[in-house]
Structure 1
Amino acid sequence: MALKQWIRDTFGGYRVRRVKSIRTQLSCKFDIGPWRRPGLDGIDVRLAEIFGFSREGTFIELGGNDGLQYSNTLLLERELGWRGVLIEGVPELAAEALRNRPKAIVVCAAVTAETDFGIVAMNDLDLVSTISGAPGRVCVATTTLSTVIDNVMNGSAPDFLIIDVEGFEMDVFAGLDLTRHKPRWMLVETKNEETITSLLHPKGYELIEKLSHHDYLYRLGNYDLTP
């Protein structure tokens, strides 16, 4: 018997939206369903749990890779109807992300403290990329996170921001105007948690949970995504 039909028969009267939420929770718990969890260390599933399996949120994933490998937004997008932006500085990976994630907006750029165009050092090993023969230096646009939010998201900060830039977190934050753009949740990969926390705490963010050895989840005030 199909899972959705079983839920309808068991919990009769539930709306389809509720059915999908239950299906997603079961899929996450038992690792079933048409997708396979790409998130490293089960972070994507933990995020879905923390967000209460909330549906139809918005995200920006900085360090989008190919849109599949180790993505912490794929589950949110495919199973919970979230929409958002993938930012990837390696052109080959950005092209793959465009193919792999047709529902997402893909931005090929290096996010820094200023918007410009120039030569940016892109070491594929440092970026945990796996492009065969990737050049050490590529010519890509550089932009700020606030510029992306203004131009791609009409100035509205996402519910969830992921920053995974292999040590360049402070450059990214230098280009994010937190007086205008305040994501509700932020997941930051960093080896300098104290520095990031010291930066974000005065802006109203609280460190909620350490999700892996270097991944830290911050929440703005008492904001909650749970239904």
Structure 2
Amino acid sequence: MANQIKQLKQTWRLCSSVANAFKGKIRTTLGIRKPTKTCQIPELKRIVDETFPEDERGVFVEVGAYDGERFSNTSWLADAGWRGLYVEPSKQFSRWCRLRHMLNRVTVLNVAAGNENTSATLQQIGSLSTMSQATFEEYDRIDWAKQQIAKECKQQQTEVLKLDKILADQKIPEAFDVLVVDVEGYEENVFSGFSLAQWKPKLIIVELCDIHPDFQDNLELVESAGRVRQTILAAGYREKYSDSINTVFEVDAASPCSESKDSRIAA
């Protein structure tokens, strides 16, 4: 019975992904252009509309795609015709993501982005999936997260590639439009394998826990997120929006990053 219930849940999620693919296109056809209801940045549509013309079809990269719909910052852009690249280490979630975007101009890679080309262990915990051991241990101490760990945590090995290599292999243009990094405490590893000075995306959306009240006692995670924040600011960006977990950075025209400066975080 347990296996049958599990199979039914899997079938439902696959069907849901396909349904969301068609719903996304229907919304776009009807002129509805806004993020999914589960998007965690209430100001995201305003920010994107202020930065890019509404009829523009840009290029985005989302690292930590999950299922391509829930909590997504970019699914609505993909539905509107943007070219996209989703990077998702979970085999299961990347499959859901491909189905969700089967009608869109996107590529879904079943890999992780990190500071070297290697392999690593993914703790798969739904939307809280992480390759950061410190984050996993912290989640196991937080009431709202530990329940999810107890319910659905499992491990899998995943390939890890530097984000520089991923972007080059996928022929993503320099100065592309939107970069999203949502990897549950693994952000510093991602930016250690990424040259901001070379790629210089116009908008960067990152989950950073350095000002989140639930993480303030974990100095390791707070300092790691703080280094990522400072690296982005030092590369010629300014904060356009910030809340307890998400920050949106935009290129600061008044403080351009030097072409010769490599803005990776030191590995």
Aligned length in residues: 193
Give the drift of 1:183: 1.1
CA distance in 2, matches of 1:200, 1:216: 11
1:64 aligns with 2:82: no
Q: Which residue identity is paired with 2:70?
A: Q
Q: Which residue of 1 aligns with 2:125?
A: 124
Partner of 2:115: 113
Task: Indicate the SS of the match to 2:42.
Answer: helix
Answer yes or no: is the 8 Å Cα contact 2:36–2:70 preserved in 1.
no
Calculate the aligned-residue CA RMSD, in Å: 3.1
**Aligned pairs for 1:182-221 within 5 A:** 182-192=200-210, 194-210=226-242, 212-221=243-252
1:48, 1:76 within 8 Å by CA — same for their partners in 2? no
Does the residue aligned with 2:194 lie in a helix, a strand or coil? coil
Code of the aligned partner of 1:188: V
Compare 66-75 and 48-57 and name the one that shifted more: 48-57
Q: Shift of the alpha carbon at 1:77?
A: 1.8
In the alignment, what sits opposite 2:86? Answer: 86
Q: Which runs of 5+ in 2 are unaligned?
A: 1-27, 131-144, 211-224, 255-267
- 2:182–2:207 Cα contact (<8 Å) kept: yes
Residue equivalent to 1:176: 194
- Deviation of residue 45 (structure 1)? 2.5
What is the distance in 1 between the residues matched to 2:51 and 2:83? 15
Q: Deviations over 1:154-185 (max 9, x none)?
A: 55352110010111111110000223222111
User: Cα–Cα, structure 1 residues 91 and 44, in superposed 2: closer, same or farther, change >3 Å?
Assistant: farther
Task: Return the structure number with greater helix share.
Answer: 2
1:30-69 to structure 2, matched below 5 A, reads 37-52=37-52, 53=54, 55-69=56-70
Unaligned regions of 5+ residues in structure 1, if any? Answer: 1-20
Indicate the SS of the match to 2:158. strand
Q: TM-score, normalised by structure 1?
A: 0.73
Overall identity of the aligned pairs, in %: 21
- Structure 1 residues 91-146: Cα deviation after superposition (integer angstroms, max 9, x where no partner): 10001111111221001111110112x34132315329989x86632121111111
Secondary structure of the structure 2 residue equivalent to 1:94:
helix
1:197·1:207 contact (CA, 8 Å) conserved in 2? no
